[in-house]
A and B are shown apart, each in its own frame.
Chain A
Amino acid sequence: MEIVGSRKPAADEAPILSLYRSAPQVEVILDDFERFAIDRLLVLKGVSDGLSRGKKPEEMEKLVKELWRTHMGHPDASETRNKDIISHFILRLVYCRTEDLRNWFLSAETTLFRCRYRLQNLETQRMLLAEFDFPYKALSQAEFEVVKEKLVQVSRSIGLSPNDAAESVFFKMPFEEVSDLVSSRKVFLLKGYAYVAMSQVSSPVTKQFRRILSKALELTNRKWTSISQEKEKNRLTPIVESLSSSYLGPDYSQHQESSEISLRDIDRLANNSFPPCMRHLFEKLREDHHLKHGGRMQLSLFLKGVGLKLEDALTFWKAEFSQKVGTERFDKEYAYSIRHNYGKEGKRTDYTPYSCQKIISSTPGVGDHHGCPYRHFSEENLRAALTKMGVGGHAMDDIMQKVQTRHYQLACTLTFEAVHGISCDTGVNHPNQYFIESRKALELKRQPTT
């Protein structure tokens, strides 16, 4: 893909959806490069969030429609297609570089594709099959007659009317292509072949999409690391690298059901799994029975993200603060702001816990304990804090080196790795992410090896 000046491609008859099999021979201006990427990233982030919240397929389709319209929409259809394809290829560069990044991108793009495909009407879906060189042909009338009765039976067993089966087009393909439909017994199987209805064809098409993209990502990774990264050192590389580290991951404002925590556990959790910034705030709170505004915000939103329920949060903060200012004053002056954080007061915004970027860029003053220890502590205090967490020797040196070169998040990643003894490929971008990864790592250690 040549990126030189600014020239729009000719109005094309390109289809609505693409398998992105080859990069377009088109020119993009550098400004558009970043803008397109961010817009698509917002869509993918929305998809990824939806998945992690367990949205059902119909809800996901609605979500995708909305996200696509908001971020990728354009009055001119060919512009949309243009942006679609270009932004995809840009993000391939960004997300090809580690296995975790590839997996995330693969999962989000595959879901996006599936939803967009299913949002098309059946006629368009059929056309797209031809466009995608879909390897399986529809059943001939003769073939259909042989299995018709069984197909009707399957149709009825999944709640469709028998007419749907009678009128539908069916495709015969190896059962491996439709594992999800096999799992839920939504297809008829005969001698190793699955008979897939038109309404179900999104399943093998999406599988094909995923296969193509997975291979392409591996290839892109090799090409990028061996050739382009160096070649584009002054132009694309800085944009690409900043895109993947800019905070566009989950916002941890809604914790998962399984991760709710209780007050009993909080000290233990703080000791084992809180990142340094939150450990410090927590310790100071226990020590002084007070925190100033900045610290209250940073810690209480973090605790919300970790799974502390509102009632427990109020109990917790009250227990500490009342030792300094008394219960009456707590109720009058501080309880409100906790409730506000949880979206129960005022304009009821459910505030999201702060990301590392936000915390690093904050400006704690005298008497404040919030902020990022790697940035805001003195070297001496930082060493002391890390030693308390069990970091020593080589790891400490590496971390200090990162701090000196102002790579605070990398320093925190190294801390995580030193404390837990495992590597953290995605890097630390958010205190709640640190917490979740920590719980995962500790859980893994608890399980007996098979």
Chain B
Amino acid sequence: MSNEEILDGDDHMQIDGHDSELQRSSKVPQGFNADYLKVYYGKLFPYDDIFKWMSYGNAGKHPACDPSYFGRREFSFSLGNDTYCRYQSFNSVTEFENSIKKNCPFKIDIGPVYRLHPAKRFAYAQSGSDGFAPVERELVFDIDISDYDDVRHCCSGADVCTNCWPLMTIAIKVIDTALRDDFGFNHILWVFSGRRGVHCWVCDSRARRLNNDERASIAKYFHVYKCGESGFKKVSLAGSVLHPFLASYTDVLRIYFEEKLLCNQSLLSSEDRYEKILELVSNKSITDELHDKWQGHRRSSNTEEDLNITRWEQLKHVLQSGKQKGLRRCVEEIVFLYTYPRLDMEVSKHMNHLLKSPFCVHPKTGRVCVPIDPAHCDEFDPTTVPTLSTLLEELNKRGDNSESSNELESTSLGQYITMFRSCFLEPLLKSCKEEMENAYNANLQQSRNSLSW
């Protein structure tokens, strides 16, 4: 057995081969603590990449670059002793790196870029737009799978598995597509939140300059739910025709519902499950009819999977037969309720909302908050995301015969860093550079024009 094969397996697996000395010293128990973090921050955290991202092209030598830009960004640290330090700011990547290595924060949040350097925020008496106020901030979204607890049966609360994760996948697809097609945004970063959800960072300059009202209006554009009586969520797709935004997703969502969720979650196989769906149909005679039909069902020759599919077809058939008005939309309403993205509106609405930085490690799971490529989000599996201890083991394995610059790439974190750079950072920086140069040249031209008679 090679070392790799042993270590790739479960950490609790019994090791009974040779080289046990080496294996014992490289094996790292699962966990999350300051010592592990120290190594992580010492060798793996991508300071330079985050710095380049947060600088949006201002870290260069071009005359249009604003050297104060990075320093006006707020970061905040959650330290081990329950301390929370806001308004951290750094003037260079070195300051940034040194501070993190020194403080070893359990969590790093990223805030907005302010008009003034955060350290000087008390020096100015004025409030409002003239004083210490945010001027730029990415448009962000937070999707948490615990918001879907009423529609998933495999897990609840903080747990997540490969059966319910497709809910996040479909959320990424819908929101990512809409941000690009409807709103014209291009530089979008999706990040695994470390445990049970995803964050979205829209980094186009147009997005960074949106004010609170505009952010709220985008969040509302995506919002589809009404709260019915007793907080029970409901989707009402009123009107004979849907807005093109909703219409464009009805097929995608329905396919997801039918191919992934229906069977993964066994939505119709048992009484308590199908009751929940029948509750959404407002026509009693139909629900009674189906209830009787399904309750009496005893055939065991059908697999559970077939059962779900058959019943869904029956339900669809009855609802779409067009006999009753107002039921035609019922199928879509059910599909939307189960699959449509559920966003946390408050996170998106405010420029000064702090959001966890990518590449942090989640304290409860030890998993790194890695980026997700929206074009391949189907392949993402939250249960295989590298953990702190796995990474440390990988580092141990390499021993002392590696250069620090290769260390990162040699671990399983490497592929995520590569993806971060190629799918997101490089196109973003290229675009920032172009924008900056164009604006600079335009200004130059204008001042030349005004000088000439």
Contacts and interface: CB of A to CB of B under 8 A. Distances in A.
Interface stretch (B30-38, B217-225, B283-291, B319-327): B217-225
B244 A183 contact: no
A450 to B, nearest CB: 9
A182 B243 contact: no
Given A175-B183, A179-B214, A184 B220 contact: yes
B243 A192 contact: no
Interface stretch (A148-156, A311-319, A382-390): A148-156
Interface in A118-161: 150, 153-154, 156-159
A188 to B, nearest CB: 6
Interface residues of B, number: 24
A189 B185 CA distance: 12
Interface in A154-187: 154, 156-159, 175-176, 179-180, 182-185
A132 to B, nearest CB: 22
Nearest to A174: B206
A97 B193 CA distance: 47
B243 A99 contact: no
A157 B241 contact: yes
Contacts of B218: 182
Interface string B176-188: 0000011111000
B263 interface: no
B106 to A, nearest CB: 19
A191 interface: yes
A193 interface: yes
Given A159-B239, A192-B183, A192-B185, A153 B244 contact: yes
Contacts of A189: 182-183, 221, 245
B133 interface: no
A97 to B, nearest CB: 15
Interface residues of A, number: 22
Contacts of B242: 153, 157
A423 to B, nearest CB: 11
A7 B358 CA distance: 69
Contact of A154 (B128, B181, B221, B244): B244
Nearest to A181: B217
Contacts of B315: none
A176 B240 CA distance: 28
Contacts of A185: 221, 243, 245-246
B150 interface: no
A190 interface: yes
Chain A contact residues: over half helix, strand or loop, or mixed? helix
Given A189-B183, A192-B184, A192-B206, A183 B217 contact: yes
A38 B166 CA distance: 63
Contacts of A175: 183
A189 B217 CA distance: 13
Contacts of B239: 156-159
A150 B213 contact: no
A193 B184 CA distance: 8
B247 interface: yes
Interface in A8-39: none
A208 B241 CA distance: 32
Interface in B320-371: none
B184 A153 contact: no
A153 B183 contact: no
Nearest to A155: B241
Query: Most chain-A CB neighbours within 10 Å: which of B206, B239, B244?
Result: B244
B216 interface: yes
Interface in A274-288: none
Contacts of B240: 156
A180 B242 CA distance: 19
A324 to B, nearest CB: 48
B216 A183 contact: yes
B210 interface: yes
B247 A190 contact: no
B244 A99 contact: no
B246 to A, nearest CB: 8
Nearest to B247: A153
A184 B216 CA distance: 11
Contacts of A190: 181-182, 184
A153 B245 CA distance: 10
Contact of A180 (B183, B217, B246): B217
Contacts of B243: 153-154, 157-158, 185
Interface in B263-288: none
Interface string A187-225: 011111100000000000000000000000000000000
Interface string A372-400: 00000000000000000000000000000
A192 B180 CA distance: 8
B347 to A, nearest CB: 12
Contacts of A191: 181-184
B306 to A, nearest CB: 37
B184 A179 contact: no
Given A159-B239, A192-B206, A182 B184 contact: no
A183 B206 contact: no
A188 B216 CA distance: 18
Contacts of A188: 244
Given A176-B210, A176-B214, A183 B241 contact: no
A147 B221 CA distance: 20
Contacts of A180: 217
A117 B210 CA distance: 27
Interface string A49-68: 00000000000000000000
A193 B206 CA distance: 12
Nearest to A159: B239
B202 to A, nearest CB: 12
B229 to A, nearest CB: 19
Interface in B222-252: 239-247
Contacts of A153: 241-244, 247
A150 B244 contact: yes
Contacts of B216: 179, 183
Interface string A382-422: 00000000000000000000000000000000000000000
Contacts of A192: 182-185, 206
Interface string A294-317: 000000000000000000000000
Contacts of A183: 216-217, 220-221
Contacts of A176: 210, 214
Nearest to B213: A179
11 contacts: A150-B244, A153-B241, A153-B247, A156-B239, A157-B244, A159-B239, A182-B221, A189-B182, A191-B182, A191-B184, A193-B184
Interface of A: 99, 150, 153-154, 156-159, 175-176, 179-180, 182-185, 188-193
Nearest 6 Cβ contacts at the A-B interface:
A192-B184, A179-B217, A191-B184, A183-B220, A156-B241, A189-B182
Given A183-B216, A191-B183, 16 more contacts: A153-B244, A156-B241, A157-B239, A157-B244, A179-B216, A183-B217, A183-B220, A183-B221, A184-B220, A189-B183, A190-B182, A190-B184, A191-B181, A191-B182, A192-B182, A192-B183
